[in-house]
Amino acid sequence: MRLPALVFVLIATTGLGCAQSHPHWDYYGRTGPLGWGNLDPAYKVCADGKEQSPIDIRGAKLNKALKPIEFHYMAASAELENNGHTVEVKVKPGSYIVLDGVRYDLQQFHFHHPGEEAVNGKLTDMDVHLVHKSAEGKLAVLAVRLSEIQGDPNATLAALWQHLPMEAGKTEKDPDMINAGGLLPGDRGYWTFMGSLTTPPCTEGVRWFVFEQTVSISRAQLRAFGALYKINSRPLQDRNGRKIEANE
């Protein structure tokens, strides 16, 4: 299955430290995913890393010791930025999660079309990555898979979609009180594994949490985002024997 900074992205797509001196990258052609590792020495791990994201989630092992994620999200106004790779929602400080007793502050969340994380080989229509960072600088990315349904769209997505910036480099302010918790599924069961950012520099050591239950997105919402980004997702990466665990 995207910080200044479970965790997925960060640097370019999440705007967390992508220096302007780094070369241009994209999702197509010579500067697309197959070539990221050759664009800059700083991106080398995109090609050579052994714990790259996203991956196909299958064969997860139940771990009863895994604790539920504690959510402490607050409602606030937000700013949406079309950064040329995705639409990133910048949130005000104060929202956070707790994992194994450690606080991770929500930095931002952003969208991929189609979804990046696969489950048994199947991708969803889109996904949203909520990027968190601990005081020690460790990253955790929560991935919510979005599937098209007929009927009422997700209310939080509906509020955000009213303010989608239509051009790269543009920002729009959403005056509504946005709570990222509105993007989460009702059932908070998840899969977890170690991975990387899904955009250059593809930094590893990111803990990922992918929710098992999907969240609805309407056809109109899909079309609106697809008009901005027909494809902005990285292909699946080799699992390389990584352990995938599921909580109850």
pLDDT digits (tens, 9 = 90+) for 23-80: 899 999 999 999 999 999 999 999 999 999 999 999 999 999 999 999 999 999 999 9
**Is 85 assigned a catalytic role?**
yes
Q: 29-246 has which CATH code?
A: 3.10.200.10
Active-site position among 22, 85, 112, 132? 85
How many CB atoms neighbour CB 92 within 10 A?
A: 13
128 close to 141: Cβ distance less than 8 angstroms: no
**Is the sign of the CA dihedral 17, 180, 188, 13 positive or negative?**
negative
Its pTM stands at 0.90
Asked if pLDDT for residue 6 goes beyond 90, the answer is no
Distance CA 83, CA 87 (A): 6
- The domain ranges of the chain are 29-246
pLDDT digits (tens, 9 = 90+) for 126-139: 999 999 999 999 99
Asked if pLDDT for residue 12 goes beyond 50, the answer is no
